[in-house]
Amino acid sequence: MALRFIDGFDHFTTIAQLLYKYNEIASSSYVSLDAGRRSGSNAVRLYTSSGNVSKTLDEQATWIVGAAVKIASIPSGNGAIFQFRDNLGNAQCSLCVTPTGALALIRGTTSGTVLATSANAIIGNSWNFIEAKLTIADSGGVFEARVNGEVWATYTGDTKYSSTLATANSIRLSGFPSAVQVWYDDFYICDATGTVNNGYLGDVRVDTLYPSGVGSSSQFTPTGSATNWENVDEASPDEDTSYNASETAGHIDSFTFADLTALNATIMGVQANILARKDDAGTRLLRAVARVGSTNYEGTDLTFSDSYVDQRTIWNQNPATAAAWTEAEINAAEFGYKVQL
């Protein structure tokens, strides 16, 4: 698996849309969208410790997370940038900014046991790319924080807060106390499995691309627009106003996409997001499809409910070459979905 989740927040136009993709938004009145760290990009802005956004995945002992972070000012109390939470709701560990601007590695919540503190301090109102790696264990666990590629704090020992679990399944982005505003952009989550993307990715960016034209297959029935790609090209989903539908196993829609902005950089992976629902009783399955050359490569089964949910498939590498994607390969590829069941 390795790379598990990415979000640049550029495709959101309302806070309500975050719930398509995130499992929890606590106190949404303290969550907003704002300008990101690059021209024309978005970030999610959180303020007060009541404002937070959580992504739940599966149980893992090791997680690596990173995001571009801007803090309006240094908080009066510990403010959590990342919290690693288990399925009982415990914060196994928290990466915090202290009232001195230092980063603190804390077992538990913001008021838990301080494991290590950085000598360096965060400067307010500036973007930094902050990453953390946590391996949860009673002994021999590892908790580390990096800022702009440099190790600021590290600890080896007891990183297990829970009395019963040595895993975490949820990553929480948090606001800070005293209404200090915090911005997050270019967010990624990796686990330690697989052979690629199982460690720090460094300072990365997440680019959002939308369907731009007809692909090699248009087998779903369109509603709203005459051509399938026009029903799924909007940044702000309109749900049942324009959509494509099929109940036939094997049906595929694939689309061309707008080209990437020239990056001249390593591409860590491609994430296909599918916003879909089923409209009748029974189990329905979709698979994401990447079409490279003349071959379709399918992702794993995705299960949907009666409500619209954003499901994702990540290709860490080009499935046609088993090597890192190139810009040219992504620009030439088609992406879409298939009815599996």
pLDDT at 27: 86
Taking the C-alpha atoms of residue 13 and residue 11, their distance in angstroms, rounded to an integer, is: 7
What is each CA distance from 246 to 208, 253, 341, in whole angstroms?
Answer: 26, 10, 10
DSSP-assigned states of every residue in 41-73? -EEEEEESTT-EEEEEEEEESEEEEEEEEEESS
Residues 97, 103: contact at Cβ < 8 Å? yes
Instruction: Look at the block and give the residue holding tokens 């202290």.
Output: 98
- Which residue's structure tokens are 């040595």? 166
First to last CA, the chain: 24
Q: Which amino acid type is present at position 227?
A: T
What's this model's pTM, rounded to 2 decimal places? 0.97
User: What's the CA gap between 143 and 106, in Å, rounded?
Assistant: 9
CA-to-CA separations, 310 to 25, 271, 286, 313, in angstroms, rounded: 15, 12, 12, 10
CA angle 62, 63, 66 (to 5 degrees): 155
CATH 2.60.120.200 for domain 3-191, yes or no, is: yes
**From first to last of its 341 residues, what are the pLDDT tens digits of the chain?**
799 999 999 999 999 999 999 999 988 899 999 999 999 999 999 999 899 999 999 999 999 999 999 999 999 999 999 999 999 999 999 999 999 999 999 999 999 999 999 999 999 999 999 999 999 999 999 999 999 999 999 999 999 999 999 999 999 999 999 889 999 999 999 999 999 999 999 999 999 999 999 999 999 999 999 999 999 999 889 999 999 999 999 999 999 999 998 888 899 999 999 999 999 999 999 999 999 999 999 999 999 999 999 999 999 999 999 999 999 999 999 999 999 99
C-alpha span between 145 and 159 (Å, rounded): 14
Distances (CA, A) of 166 to 1, 4, 95, 194, 207: 20, 19, 18, 20, 34
pLDDT for the residue 28:
86
Q: Residue 226's pLDDT is what?
A: 96
Residue 158 half-sphere exposure toward CB, CA atoms < 13 A: 9
